Structure 1
Amino acid sequence: MDNTPHPTGSERRAAKAAAAARTPKAGRNLPAAIGVGSTLAALVILSLAFWKEAFLILATLAVAVGVWELHGGLAQGRIKAPLVPTVLGALVMLPAAYYGGGDALALTFAMTGVAVLLWRAADGLAGAAKDVAAGFLVAGYAPLLAGFAALMLAADDGAWRIFVFVLVTVSSDIGGYAVGVVKGRHPMAPSVSPKKSWEGFTGSVVTCVVVAVVCMVLALDGPWWGGVLLGVAIVVAATVGDLGESLLKRDLGIKDMGDILPGHGGVMDRLDSLVFAAPVAWVLFAVFLGS
């Protein structure tokens, strides 16, 4: 006969509540996330304030690390995207965009694609189509999209444009996280990102629009209604980027693209929203402020 005492219903409920209290609702180590986020913000602000080419170097290195993480993530799904040509492409595309404009960005992306094809062909034809397609995905996902940030940076007021772009995009994450933790009840895409809710998305929209309007008027001397459009467009692009990477990670069976940033995951886990929002911000800044 088993004489081991069994917990009562109330004891089991108390244990579950204690476990839930120890686990952040949004699945993050909040103190670590705040510390790392504050450090990254300081690096961005300092680089833009003193020498905007320093931001170009910082962004280029971050994208190169992101490409390396994407390569490792795809390898978990038995997809071997060529690493060397995509990393070299990441190191070249952003400086090319900054110094040579959109034509240079397009040319270096095309050259990276050719390098991916030739590099993979040297290993034989078995499985080549899948690996080459993955190489194009990596080159287009991170360096090409991030190249639009370099195009923004090249403008006379490029440092301010980048500051506003990054601040508004990050506001989407902060607003969505804050509201989602407190009010989140209805998941947006439960099979892709269970913790992302419609309530959190609403918080992202409100936060982005407010921040974008203030920044557009005070930092860029642009129209307030341009700030409204910028905030709405960026929050949509950032959300698509976040859900897109979540879908990719779920398909590959991984939680994060890396673990280099405590509380955040990998570098690519922080760039997912930014790279998708960069082309949107570049276009809208060109419309409202000129090229």
Structure 2
Amino acid sequence: MTDPSEQPPGGGRRHRLRRPRPDAAPAPDDTALHAHLRAARTEFESQVERARADFEEANERIKARTGRDLILAILIGLAIGVVLLLSLIIWKPVFLVFALAAVGLGLFELTRAMQGSGRRVDLAPQLAGGAALVLSGWFLSAWLHWVVLIAVVILVIVWRLLGQMVVHDGRRHRDVADDVLAGGLMQLYVSFLASLCVILLRQDHGEYWVLAFIIIAVAADTGAYITGLTLGRHPMAPRISPKKTWEGFAGAVAAALIAGVLLALFMLNLPWWAGLVIGAVILATATIGDLGESMIKRDLGIKDMSSWLPGHGGVLDRLDSILPSAGGALALYLLLTPLVVS
């Protein structure tokens, strides 16, 4: 006999849990739900793939027309903008590091481009002179800054002449003169204009003016790019820059003036008409800088100064419109600051 204590509860009846059979068919509602989810997922993946294909096709058309990769250009532009904005907002001297790096890279690119075209330009005095001009713009007075500029140009010229005397390879006097002229102009074009931006930065509320003129220059460039891409038909300066059109320039005008008015009212505390003046001046200097660099690249026989910034070209390709605008912005600051609304 079995001990009653060993029997399971319930009077000796063993209750077994019923497990569903492995081959049991799912409920009709579950089958319909799974089928619906699979269909929705397939449709979503198809839509994503179609959208990606359309975007890549549009990007290839833009790249074929402009020679730029739109996606990389946007991402790199945003990254540079964030770094620039943080350097101006957090602590102004941080922008000095940004300026030194930009000038150094720009001079390096231009030196390599000059050397590739047969001109003899010395990198060491170019980099030293660029750093000296940027730092003097921050630490020294205005008249001492001019002294540094003259000293830097003399350094570049003497260095090249001494180098030519040491080599003594029979280079023609005209070629030597071209080398000296190119080296001196590099300091005026890159280093001196960048130092004007640093001088503007160190003024009271100068960081807002620096940010404002850069925003206007970028807005003008973006307006010209979008309008020229969509509506451009009539070349503006085909011998200098074949892809620039009058329609693109009209877009740049509209973008620069709108940005100037908004920045004058909400950031610089100036009357709205002062924003029109600022927008017009920065547009003019940015356009001159853009066309000027295009002439330099055309003379050197290159498309971009370098390929360091995919979608943009080189560092100097991004500074072409900003460098001349620094001088215009500094002049506007001195003229319009008395109009600031307190």
- Do they fold alike, i.e. is TM over 0.5? yes
Q: Secondary structure at the match of 1:196?
A: strand
CA deviation digits over 1:87-138, x for unaligned, max 9? 1111111121122242233122111111112211222354432211111111
Kept in 1, the 8 Å contact 2:153–2:187? The answer is yes
Among 140, 149, 155, the alignment partner of 1:109 is 149
Equivalent in the alignment of 1:124? 164
Q: Kindly indicate whether residue 273 of structure 2 is the aligned counterpart of residue 225 of structure 1.
A: yes
Q: Kindly indicate whether residue 58 of structure 2 is the aligned counterpart of residue 34 of structure 1.
A: no
Kept in 2, the 8 Å contact 1:234–1:280? The answer is yes
Kept in 2, the 8 Å contact 1:241–1:275? The answer is yes
TM-score, normalised by the number of residues in structure 2: 0.77
Give the CA deviation at 1:139: 0.4
Runs (4+) off by over 4 Å: 17-20
Equivalent in the alignment of 2:323? 275
| CA distance in structure 2 between the aligned counterparts of 1:101 and 1:238, rounded to whole angstroms | 27
Give the CA deviation at 1:217: 1.3
Among 333, 338, 342, the alignment partner of 1:285 is 333
Equivalent in the alignment of 1:64? 104
Kept in 1, the 8 Å contact 2:88–2:207? The answer is yes
Give the CA deviation at 1:36: 0.5
Q: Secondary structure at the match of 1:54?
A: helix
| CA distance in structure 1 between the aligned counterparts of 2:207 and 2:59, rounded to whole angstroms | 45
| CA distance in structure 1 between the aligned counterparts of 2:60 and 2:192, rounded to whole angstroms | 41
Provide the aligned C-alpha RMSD in A: 1.8
| CA distance in structure 1 between the aligned counterparts of 2:144 and 2:101, rounded to whole angstroms | 19
Kept in 1, the 8 Å contact 2:219–2:259? The answer is yes
Give the CA deviation at 1:188: 0.5
Matches within 5 A, 1:166-185: 166-185=214-233
Q: Gaps (5+ residues) in structure 1?
A: 1-16
Equivalent in the alignment of 1:260? 308
Equivalent in the alignment of 1:187? 235
Answer with 21-30 or 137-146: which moved more: 21-30
Kept in 1, the 8 Å contact 2:59–2:69? The answer is no
Equivalent in the alignment of 2:134? 94
Q: Gaps (5+ residues) in structure 2?
A: 1-56, 166-170
Kept in 2, the 8 Å contact 1:82–1:132? The answer is no
| CA distance in structure 2 between the aligned counterparts of 1:161 and 1:19, rounded to whole angstroms | 35
Among 180, 201, 205, the alignment partner of 1:157 is 205
- The residue type paired with residue 326 of structure 2 is A
Point out the structure with max Rg over C-alpha.
2
Kept in 1, the 8 Å contact 2:63–2:70? The answer is no
- The residue type paired with residue 21 of structure 1 is R
Among 76, 88, 113, the alignment partner of 1:73 is 113
